[in-house]
Structure 1
Amino acid sequence: MSLKVKLMDDLKTSMRNKEKLRKNTITLIRSAIKQKEVDERIELNDEAILDIISKQVKQKKDSINEFKKGNRDDLVSQTEQEINILMGYLPPQLSEEELELIVKQAIEETEANSMKDMGKIMGKVMPQIKGRADGSLVNKIAIKYLKK
């Protein structure tokens, strides 16, 4: 089943069950997908849809930080629930240990030895982990190994 079909089915289910937050979150994803399809005049595949969902998760995580600064615990809670819903559509996330192995391997393969080589490392790692880990975590791990 394609991701688009799954999203539509989940939207219908959430409407039937009167799950307002789930319905709103799925509607947000579907509208972002539709917007991209209209803008670029293409039909998005599952991989492109996963990219959109990943971006949504990243934006929501950034929003949480802002909400915490503004002491808006109600919005923090709601946004965390939205992230949990979005994570249900992403592939299983890599653990930090798995990510470290991938980064170490990329450092060895690119023969990176300084911060100047960060672009090479990120270019090698990001396609491998697409949708399964956050780029900022990859960056943090790479910095840790490049400073040694």
Structure 2
Amino acid sequence: MSRQKSKDTGIEMALRRALHAAGLRYRVHRRPAKGVRREADIVFGPTRVAVFVDGCFWHGCPEHVTWPRRNAEFWRAKIEGNRARDRDTDARLAESGWLSLRVWEHESPDEAAVRIAEVVAERRAGRDPVSPRSGQAAPWQSP
């Protein structure tokens, strides 16, 4: 497991290419807000949008989560801990005025890029998109 890439994964690179082709400019692997010791995969600073690309196994994708049989307690605790950290990150960023978007690794990079571009455009125009944390998780966020 130590050989699993955590940065510049295939889906992340494809998403970045699609966003760049759409004319969006961003920073990669940055801490969006001071005091939040978590790094976003893609950051749109002026609009305060942080994008996280989550792996289906590591973040417990509702569609593709698998629970290993070997060392099951360890892996369940690990994945549930990752989910809890994701929720905490989203809450901390929201408190700082940031919007965090989550993209699953199984999603189409082009479709995710369109969704992200829409949110960034809305925030640039001064319209705050409906907060996906207002009771229900949006499709691009962890439950």
Answer yes or no: same fold by TM over 0.5.
Answer: no
| Bigger share in helix | 1
Greater RCO (Cα-Cα under 8 Å, separation 6 or more): 2
TM, length-normalised to structure 2? 0.33
| Bigger share in strand | 2
Structure label with greater radius of gyration: 1
